[in-house]
Structure 1
């Protein structure tokens, strides 16, 4: 997918890290004072009761940054470090904090594993390939100028083996439709992309990009990532068949029903972060996270990340902030400043887009008042030169607001990785 001029629409700091640069907890040795009478909180206390007691006693105000450390203790600079009581208090709180961080990591791992189960994907027999075969099935009436694909053993042609239904999306060189497999009745979505271009070199680039997108999708398997049933090449088109998500996109639901309640925003944001965590751990960045590319199932409860036309593979498993440079792919209003400035970028550009998606879901409008900018160059300049994050809706709770602000840190290295964001207290009710 190229730069969407019609879209008016990494490593970061770990919450549990002792080197966090949060405004609440300075980087030098921190003086912890116990909350109220909990100065002797036993580090072996069960995590659940510890969190409940501490949250009840130290619920942050609307102006307080929400972090795990602020739940454990508050700063008390007036205490004398030579005071034995102070030393004992600090020791107890430090042990409790470390235990909480360890158990939070374990709880998150368990929650991620439990959430990894999903329904079986419908099978369309004529889209199945043998192990080792290319996932793209080329039809017999397709030109021989596209080597490397699997020759169709059984034809799977439009209008005879599958039927095209209502159009649900339109791009410069692609269209998306609802479709039905004639043999099984399975409902699908099909992204139909024409690969014919004016020059052979341009056409080769398009074909290679499409093949990479299809092969990338064929290896993805996560509850919050759209699943592909198969792909064909017929005449001048590539057809990508993906599972049908009856709820449509987040952008569609926002246009139909208006802004989401905070509970819905939190639910969708958590699922978005889980999907991105899976992609990032598999060395993939999406580069076009926005409401139009987040699909919802028929119940309104399951979110899946879709459209990998702008996605790219990373060269390393590290969380470095920069691996790409100068590639403007995505939708302007959701793109990180470093991308628009032509600087190096990596996983953290997706984290920035999560913050933008939170704004979109909370107010049914894209960030930066992008819908009011008819001049796309002006919008690019506005974001690239920004010294503050885009405006966040004032009605958001401190917790969700904090998540958005962390995603929208101007410096890529200051944005927490997607997996670390999942540890935020605002998502803990789902653990």
Structure 2
């Protein structure tokens, strides 16, 4: 068999097609030498949907992120501090909120791994998960050309290596992406619920998703009605903005006590990341205005996308669009606690991107597809803009751009 399969009468990128075996060998070799050498091969793997590409891209970002030294402001700083304390005293410095971190701490201690492996593994899980979804969509839908490129970029930018420094929620989001794909696109129920279970173990806040699914099944007639769905959307937004803050705060703290598990509820209700976050952090008037604009856009986007789905003639038959609408309605009650609310937006964007990748939402006088994708692009652009003014700058400063040591061999050697 020839290593290069020549495709006749073609002027496309695939004129010479590298076999899967050779692609895997070359990409692994480049990652072992320097991740920067792997970039052309990774791009080729994305375009041609080569086997192993999700893992290779995840390794690329994991190796890049390994060199990051987090400043005090990052959650990763506290995770590293907690891990080193655990190695020394065999107990947790801070209460552990989820099983994911405690499991990593246990593995790391037993294998004598350095603290950087926490971030390395979390990046690996997240990018492998979302890229598996994207490339499966490309193969099975199929997504082609410019539209695939747009969906791919939005998936990548929805949650970056900077956000992954929190470790827990982004890991949960990766598993949720797999749950949504396998459950609603391939109908592989057992596989999908396994990933849903892993997501809840990774970050307790995503317990909201199975709760929404149960509510959707119990109240399916209510959600099947277009009029009822639209009324619930606007009612939930108004309630979230003006009425439910004390009720939701009481309920969230009640859940913590009921399950007898520490989830840090007060931090996200009345604490530094709660309803008075902007005041407690001492934002300037400009900062407060910008935060309000960001929150307003994050409310408007799911409202518009939800209505786009509801107006489609197949709304009642599509379980995934109903899940998006139901999640939006439930998530709106968390608007007063914008840290929690904005975190849930990542889940909505993943869901919306999968929906837009699998179904056309063009109406007679309106292109719902274009509007929805544009809304998501606006949300992600705003997110990146904010990041470039704050955390992204700290992240870039914390990276070590070293051509020689930025490879898989050096990383594994240092971790061990």
TM-score, normalised by the number of residues in structure 2: 0.24
- Greater fraction strand: 1
- Greater fraction helix: 2
Larger Rg: 1
TM-score, normalised by the number of residues in structure 1: 0.24
